[in-house]
Structure 1
């Protein structure tokens, strides 16, 4: 039997595929530098600057572009990922180290196409897969606002990514697989409020950047289906699953109140979401909060698949009960009932019952506060037990909480705790 011809065909197809992939990567890497902005642009009017400030808050831009204790938007904040560490850039109008020599066109290209002024491809920690949806007037308003903040001379720190993620070819390949420039398109079958909510949620606020699973190459899976944060320290729960953070059966007013205040009866936010509320959603106007609520309520409910329930070891549960009585019961109650207006109930708590135990572990280890907002000015806090409890004790009390008072969630191991710690 002669197999040469089929093998030659396969080889030719593979060679063509490699050539095509090489050409596509070459096209991704062929962006040209845009000329620097020369001379002073006229200052935008107050309304445009205010609009840009509002959008920057909605997107919580300050979180990734401000070092701890540093000047706002001057960069330096490390963003830890499974592929290494990226560092937020300087967005102030300093001409040497910031955006001072960026033209409006260069800034718009960065938001819409993920390309720097000098033609470099930007890493997707800068969420251009979402900001590509912004309208041109909103992109220009953001530019006007960032030009209005105080200029800070702070050189951008280099990223520290592992090979091959630190290569332009790998970045170009990621873009081919995961990014397509575009604008937010209105759905004529939906209300104006829903479309506004979609624009804010999918574009400006880029909620899917955290609330979506990631594959081994950093590409997102089903948008808003939940996933680990890039540093692995928190889990952003699914907004599609009513058993996690889905709000399909909540009234819009309740959703808007949680985004505005950070804490409502039997629900509060902690960790990265507390930061989002503090810097961002607590400053949005009621119409936009209602629009986001409308959009989130109408997301298709898609319950996540969970493994069959597994009972924790009896010895672990006994230890967990002991730790809970000693450190937790005074606030959260002997039956996990909590205290209205102060301490959250743990019985039936969706965060406790999530398929991922990461947030339960993290809350025990690191504690935390809901955000201080106008509607929640003096939030009650959770103290950290990182230095008090061993990995085994944390695993025991987490397992106890997840399997008591009618709760049915998987047990937690010492190795699970060690990974988060």
Structure 2
């Protein structure tokens, strides 16, 4: 009887605790809807400020699928747990955020809670946006409410059990989310702190460039070390940068504004819309971002002259390979011949391109970016419209593998990639191309 009483009591305690946890997790109330504000009544200066802030946060990169329907959402975001679709944040009252009050908008940005009290998935980077000042949130709200309402239903997320249970995000937040506004570092200057605010809060750069753990949370101890995101590799931008040449302030500013620097190459994939948005920021903001990002770079004493000499040495002279220079390894030789026939005309010494020996997609730890641009080409950022690269849509998997292996072998002295086949399979899935 005593044992039964103990078991009954334990079960009762567990049940009460469970109910209490559910009640605690679902404690956020729904906020009352409002009538969409008349755009003519909005402060034009506040709207203009919000437009610049939206560019700094490149909101359109996720929330716009078609340029004809800005901020209408619908873009699929691949996560290890399934697909999350970006929502409609136009002021449409039925499918967008037209009936959201400013309080509801602030709560979503600062706490990751929707207007109806449900949790937002951290694919929406509220763990960064929580740091945005209240004043900047007000400007963003005014800007979005001034946009054209677009009726567009957001597709249902494709998440399996238990990841489709939003209430469980209360536990994720408890473990990995620290709400709070940006706090300047008093030991740093004004420019560094402005750059930190733009990078950490609005720009949420770490959302892509920082590795994540098994639960999808950023590994803060490995900040800016690089990570595979959405079928691309967001390269390390701190000590983990794979760039052979260290970044200078001028190179970083060039890259952030135009998307290209002679010593580092061109922005591609998801980074292209980022730099297109950053181009709308005041130049001082870009310099501040560069100062902050470069503060994570460690001077390892690398010999820049030797690196440039190696890059010069490895450049192709022409599309013709002398018989004596042909490689013995059959796979590398096939890649060499394919490079000479299809790539060398642009990627050779006389061309106005960054030497491949200096490009992070060649020198980095993951071959996915090189494979992606080979398959799908490069539509360059707006600042460098002449830096395009054509698609190689007919190249087969084996031919692609040989080409990528050769490029790594010839243009670097780094170890060969061991996961080329996996990366090719990922790229084929990303771009929906038929492989041989």
Answer yes or no: same fold by TM over 0.5. Answer: yes
Partner residue in 2 for 1:254: 251
TM-score, normalising length from structure 1?
A: 0.85
Partner residue in 2 for 1:382: 389
Q: Distance in 2 between matches of 1:32 and 1:239?
A: 40
Partner residue in 1 for 2:402: 396
In the alignment, structure 1 residue 224 sits paired with structure 2 residue 224: yes
CA displacement at 1:87 relative to structure 2:
1.4
Partner residue in 2 for 1:180: 178
Tell whether the 8 Å contact from 1:369 to 1:379 is kept in structure 2 after alignment.
no
Q: Distance in 1 between matches of 2:360 and 2:223?
A: 20
After superposition, the Cα gap between the structure-2 partners of 1:155 and 1:353, relative to the gap in structure 1 and judged at 3 Å, is: same
In the alignment, structure 1 residue 407 sits paired with structure 2 residue 422: no
Q: Secondary structure of the equivalent of 1:105?
A: helix
Partner residue in 1 for 2:213: 215
Comparing 134-143 and 233-242, the one that deviates more:
233-242
In the alignment, structure 1 residue 283 sits paired with structure 2 residue 290: no
Q: Distance in 2 between matches of 1:34 and 1:22?
A: 24
CA displacement at 1:353 relative to structure 2:
0.8
CA displacement at 1:155 relative to structure 2:
2.6
Q: Distance in 1 between matches of 2:63 and 2:55?
A: 12
CA displacement at 1:293 relative to structure 2:
0.5
After superposition, the Cα gap between the structure-2 partners of 1:403 and 1:18, relative to the gap in structure 1 and judged at 3 Å, is: farther
Q: Secondary structure of the equivalent of 1:330?
A: coil
Tell whether the 8 Å contact from 1:394 to 1:414 is kept in structure 2 after alignment.
no
Q: Distance in 1 between matches of 2:194 and 2:97?
A: 29
- Please, which runs of 5 or more residues in structure 2 have no aligned partner? 1-5, 301-326, 429-436
Post-superposition CA distance 1:211-269 (Å, at most 9, x none):
1112222111123211011x3x210011113642598x433232112111112223221
Q: Distance in 1 between matches of 2:261 and 2:299?
A: 25
CA displacement at 1:194 relative to structure 2:
0.4
Tell whether the 8 Å contact from 2:92 to 2:98 is kept in structure 1 after alignment.
yes
CA displacement at 1:123 relative to structure 2:
0.9
CA displacement at 1:82 relative to structure 2:
2.4
Q: Distance in 2 between matches of 1:17 and 1:416?
A: 46
Post-superposition CA distance 1:139-171 (Å, at most 9, x none):
000000011011122233321212211112432
Partner residue in 2 for 1:124: 122
Tell whether the 8 Å contact from 1:76 to 1:89 is kept in structure 2 after alignment.
yes
In the alignment, structure 1 residue 364 sits paired with structure 2 residue 374: yes
1:149 paired residue among 144, 147, 150: 147
Post-superposition CA distance 1:324-374 (Å, at most 9, x none):
1121111112xxx4723xx2311232321101111111111111132022x
Partner residue in 1 for 2:293: 296
Partner residue in 2 for 1:332: 347
In the alignment, structure 1 residue 170 sits paired with structure 2 residue 168: yes
CA displacement at 1:406 relative to structure 2:
4.1
Q: Distance in 2 between matches of 1:235 and 1:159?
A: 24
Q: Secondary structure of the equivalent of 2:270?
A: helix
Tell whether the 8 Å contact from 1:355 to 1:410 is kept in structure 2 after alignment.
no
What are the residue-to-residue correspondences of 1:20-99 with 2, within 5 Å?
A: 26-38=23-35, 40=37, 43-68=41-66, 70-99=68-97
CA displacement at 1:70 relative to structure 2:
4.3
Task: Give the RMSD, CA atoms, in angstroms.
Answer: 2.8
Comparing 137-146 and 260-269, the one that deviates more:
260-269
Q: Secondary structure of the equivalent of 1:403?
A: helix
Partner residue in 2 for 1:110: 108
Post-superposition CA distance 1:22-69 (Å, at most 9, x none):
855642332111111248478332111111000111111112112235
- Please, which runs of 5 or more residues in structure 1 have no aligned partner? 1-7, 304-311
CA displacement at 1:314 relative to structure 2:
2.5
Tell whether the 8 Å contact from 2:363 to 2:408 is kept in structure 1 after alignment.
yes
After superposition, the Cα gap between the structure-2 partners of 1:169 and 1:18, relative to the gap in structure 1 and judged at 3 Å, is: farther
After superposition, the Cα gap between the structure-2 partners of 1:26 and 1:226, relative to the gap in structure 1 and judged at 3 Å, is: farther
Q: Distance in 2 between matches of 1:250 and 1:105?
A: 41
Q: Distance in 2 between matches of 1:113 and 1:225?
A: 26
Q: Distance in 2 between matches of 1:283 and 1:80?
A: 28
Partner residue in 1 for 2:262: 265
Q: Distance in 2 between matches of 1:198 and 1:153?
A: 36
After superposition, the Cα gap between the structure-2 partners of 1:296 and 1:338, relative to the gap in structure 1 and judged at 3 Å, is: farther
TM-score, normalising length from structure 2?
A: 0.82
After superposition, the Cα gap between the structure-2 partners of 1:407 and 1:145, relative to the gap in structure 1 and judged at 3 Å, is: same
